[in-house]
Copies of this chain bind each other. A is one copy, B any other.
């Protein structure tokens, strides 16, 4: 294999093919510090060693989304270098927590292919698995992307659209082994709300807004070693669809998670990504706000002191979330940029 940097086109993917991504990457305390400085994330498990130790951990684990982005980033050169759009996510499950010093590797299997009727593009479904240096899964997820064809006349593959679960079931939510949840320090999070204090249908305004700069989203996206040109190349993008660089969708997800500390300060772990849609692109200069609806409260049988919340976080561009704009009919309020469905773990009484 002589990787040239031009990437795969739609007709280069084969159903069932496994792609081992490269290079692997050691994620350090420094990556965690940069991540926090990029988003202002304040969850104490990732930010305070004293807090992590009370839970029985030797070190502060890496932010779940940092792990996701690093695994995602490795897959870009093989999967989405020539993607037009990142269409969706499903069946995302976080496994072993990752710690500074862990080396993360990634591989993907092609689980679906469907050419579009215009014959210029097709949709590729991949299941991506990230593992640590011991071979343990740290995150696994399905994503599907629209990829350009190199040659419009290339024959279409037999269409295969994988069946995907609408959400990750409770039995697949994996709290880290041996966590001493009784050591959870509410004073450290600064918020007393626990699992019992949230109700399905409840809506939380995360209040703050955060403006994105070009240097910030590019630093973040390079931190993840994501090489998609649309995020970095003004010279090419000025003649592209939007006339400018597009912010990596994962950057928007991480900003939303950091903003959600206002209202969800004890949601210490993302356990699953059930689904997500990048409704509209984001650009430098946009100010993002977020609000969350509690979709479901999930009891975790046999897990004392721990519950799960299935959440739907909506991210808005240049508009406060005070009145919770989101779905409108089959579409969205024009300010919506992200509709993200995920499940968090939170202490219970």
Q: Which residues of B contact A120 (CB under 8 A)?
A: none
Q: Which of A83-91, A176-184, A203-211, A339-347 contacts B (4 or more CB under 8 A)?
A: A203-211
Q: A263 vs B49: C-alpha distance in the bound complex, in angstroms? A: 38
CA A272 – CA B271 in complex, angstroms?
46
Assess whether A219 is in contact with B38, with CB atoms less than 8 Å apart: yes
Other-chain contact of A233, B50, B206, B211 (Cβ < 8 Å): B211
CB of A235 within 8 Å of the partner chain: yes
Q: Which of B103, B191, B225 contacts A40 (CB 8 A)?
A: B225
Does B233 contact A287, Cβ atoms closer than 8 Å? yes
Q: Does A51 contact B (CB under 8 A)?
A: yes
Any chain B CB within 8 A of the CB of A334?
A: no
Chain B contacts of A26 at CB under 8 A? 47-50, 60
Q: Does A281 lie at the interface of the complex (its beta carbon under 8 Å from any beta carbon of B)?
A: no
Complex CA gap A284/B343 in Å reads 38
Distance between Cα atoms of A4 and B202 in the complex (Å): 14
Q: In whole angstroms, how far apart are the Cα atoms of A37 and B73 in the complex?
A: 13
Taking the closest CB of chain B, its distance from the CB of A317, in whole angstroms, is 9
Asked if A155 is at the interface of the complex by the 8 Å CB criterion, the answer is no
Instruction: Tell me if A1 is interfacial: C-beta within 8 Å of chain B.
Output: yes
* Pick from B40, B43, B191, B225: contact of A1, CB under 8 Å: B191
Determine whether A299 belongs to the interface, using a CB cutoff of 8 Å to chain B: no
The oligomer's copy count stands at 3
For chain A residues 22-72, which have a beta carbon within 8 Å of chain B?
22-26, 28-34, 36-40, 42-44, 47-51, 60
Of all chain B residues, the one with the shortest Cβ separation from A232 is: B210
Does A280 belong to the interface (CB within 8 Å)? no
> Is the pair B103, A50 in contact by a Cβ cutoff of 8 Å?
yes
Shortest Cβ distance from residue A244 to the other chain B in the assembled complex, whole angstroms: 10
Interface size on A, residues (CB 8 A): 79
Task: Compute how far the CA of A149 lies from the CA of B139 in the bound complex, rounded to whole angstroms.
Answer: 47
Please judge, given known A-B contacts A30-B30, A208-B5, whether A23 and B36 are in contact too, CB under 8 Å.
no
A183 to chain B, nearest CB (A): 14
CA–CA, A263 and B225, complex, Å: 17
Known: A37-B34, A42-B23, A48-B25. A4 touches B232 (CB 8 A): no
- Contact in complex: A191, B3 (CB < 8 Å): yes
Q: Decide: B208 and A213 in contact? CB cutoff 8 A.
A: no
Bound complex: CA A262 to CA B6 (Å): 9
Q: Which residues of B contact A154 (CB under 8 A)?
A: none
Tell which of A25, A223, A320 has the most Cβ of chain B within 10 Å. A25
Q: Does A251 contact B (CB under 8 A)?
A: no
* A279 contacts chain B at the CB level, 8 A cutoff: no
How near does chain B come to A45, taking the closest CB pair, in angstroms?
9
Pair B30/A190 contact, Cβ less than 8 Å:
no
A334 to chain B, nearest CB (A): 15
Tell yes or no: A187 within 8 A of B by CB: yes
Given pairs A31-B33, A216-B218, 7 additional interface contacts (CB within 8 A): A22-B191, A23-B43, A29-B30, A37-B219, A211-B214, A213-B218, A233-B287
